[in-house]
Amino acid sequence: MRRSVSAGVIAAVVVIVVVVAAVGAYYMTRGGTVYFYLTDPGNPSSSSGSSSPTAIYLTITSIMIHSTSKGWITVSNKTMTVQLSSSLSFLSSATLPPGNYTEVRLVVSAVTVQMGPVNVSASLPSSVLKIPIINGGLQVTSGRTAYLVIYMGPHLTTTGTGQVILRPVVTAEAYYSPPTTSTNTTTTG
């Protein structure tokens, strides 16, 4: 009798340990939600005699983020067109594994600059914006929400042949409470 009671107690303890380990593993690996935004903190600047733009539109085809432990993670492959403005433009959200993230990449397929009533195609060298996340990066914690704001200070130049080139200064910063938002995004495809 004593042997069957001991076996029952051992079996119960094993079941409890397995359940606690499974629940702990779930909460440690489920990740946190990150919302991605884009904003122009100031007015676009231009040089080489170009007139001031009234709007700048970026067509983004991919958003990726770099984890110090897991490498590059694709956040979104949806094509979206975003107007740069001083308001925050929502880009995407994703559940990411816990950890530290240090860089964001935006793949940009087109840049359109509105100069008065005329839209002009602009070029972006390399078509990929490599954006450092300042102040120690983005810390993703299981079950928590974070916000990544990408600040783009566009700088436009016009070549002697009239080609417009976008050479932005871009950084990203993590926040752990919601920013004030406004949506200026159109998703296609």
Give the structural domain span for 23: 1-30
pLDDT tens-digit map of 1-17 = 555 667 666 766 666 76
β-partners of residue 135 are: none
The verdict on 107 and 19 lying in the same domain is: no
Tokens of 78: 């949806």
Residue 141 has pLDDT above 90, yes or no: yes
Which amino acid belongs to residue 22?
Answer: A
Tens digits of residue pLDDT in 151-168: 999 899 999 998 999 999
Query: Is 22 found in the same domain as 114?
Result: no
Q: Do residues 50 and 122 lie in contact, with contact meaning Cβ atoms separated by under 8 Å? A: no
Domain count, the chain: 2
Q: Of residues 41 and 98, which shows the higher confidence score?
A: 98
Chain-wide mean pLDDT for the chain?
Answer: 85
Same domain, 23 and 70: no
Are residues 127 and 107 part of one domain?
A: yes
pTM: 0.78
- Are residues 20 and 42 both part of a single domain? no
CA 126 vs CA 70, 71, 109, 113: distances in Å: 25, 21, 10, 18
The whole-angstrom separation of Cα 125 and Cα 21 is: 49
